[in-house]
Structure 1
Amino acid sequence: MSLAPLLAASATIQLHAFAALAALLLGVVQLLAPKGTMPHRTLGWAWVVLLAVVAVSSFWITSRGHLSWIHLISGWTLVVLPFAVLAARRGRIRSHRSAMISLFFGALIVAGAFTLLPGRIMGAVVFGW
């Protein structure tokens, strides 16, 4: 494992990757920690901002000069994220929970898994290919 491929990448890719990693770690904390508490709300806002940074920054990361199908996940994230926050603010906790869990798994786990493929920067970081 070496950070060299990531550190050699553009600032946009670095921002995207570090925000995604922070969102992944914070998301795990949020999933495991007690809900409805002040720390949950505070960390939740930080997670929302991180996830928005990940989604928005992805539009400046293109393969072969154009957007790819994976950018659909970023668009979906930017649509679902405000609805998930609004659901919590309106006391619709079941909707909030389901939206946030789907964002965690779809935007971070599924999309993140694709970054580990051969030929991708994070694949080179983790596996050295």
Structure 2
Amino acid sequence: MDYRTLMFIHLYTIVPCIFLGAYGLLAKKGTPLHRSLGKIYMVLMLFTAVVTLFMPAYVGSRLFNHFGWIHLFSLLTLWSIPRAYFAIKKGNVRGHQISLICLYLGAIGIAGAFTLAPGRYLHGLFFG
């Protein structure tokens, strides 16, 4: 698959996560809707993290001529989602919350901000 296709798959899976994650953080916890949307959020985040590992970094230094600093957010996601899932299964609500807050701030907030840097697709889309 080429970079552009991977980029659009990533966008189509991450954009809903912006809203699902915000809902999960702000809405009443433990409801059936919270649990259902949370599962969708987790699957989408895991899927998008895997997709990004196939996307080479074009900004900054690269490891193995492929991975850049931005890929650390993919690893954060691949670590945080299972951690949050198993925490809530064990009744560790605080661990679940911390994992998902860090994930949302890091993988969506900070990584999302990097996508607005000059030379990136979203920068061109939003700022011409």
Distance 1:63 1:93 in 2: 35
Q: How does 1:22-41 map to 2 (within 5 A)?
A: 22-41=16-35
> Displacement, 1:42?
0.3
Q: How does 1:81-96 map to 2 (within 5 A)?
A: 81-96=81-96
Match of 1:116 in 2: 116
Unmatched 5+ stretches in structure 1: 1-8
Q: 1:50 aligns with which of 25, 29, 44?
A: 44
Percent of aligned pairs sharing the same letter: 38
Highest RCO, 1 vs 2 (Cα 8 Å, sep ≥ 6): 1
Match of 1:79 in 2: 79
Match of 2:107 in 1: 107
Unmatched 5+ stretches in structure 2: 59-64
Contact 2:57 2:70 in 1 (8 A): no
Q: How does 1:1-16 map to 2 (within 5 A)?
A: 10-16=4-10
Aligned residues: 120
> Displacement, 1:75?
1.1
Distance 2:114 2:12 in 1: 16
- Structure-2-length-normalised TM-score: 0.88
Q: Which amino acid aligns with 2:22?
A: V
Match of 1:6 in 2: none
- Structure-1-length-normalised TM-score: 0.88
- Displaced runs of 4+ in structure 1, greater than 6 A? none
Distance 1:21 1:124 in 2: 17
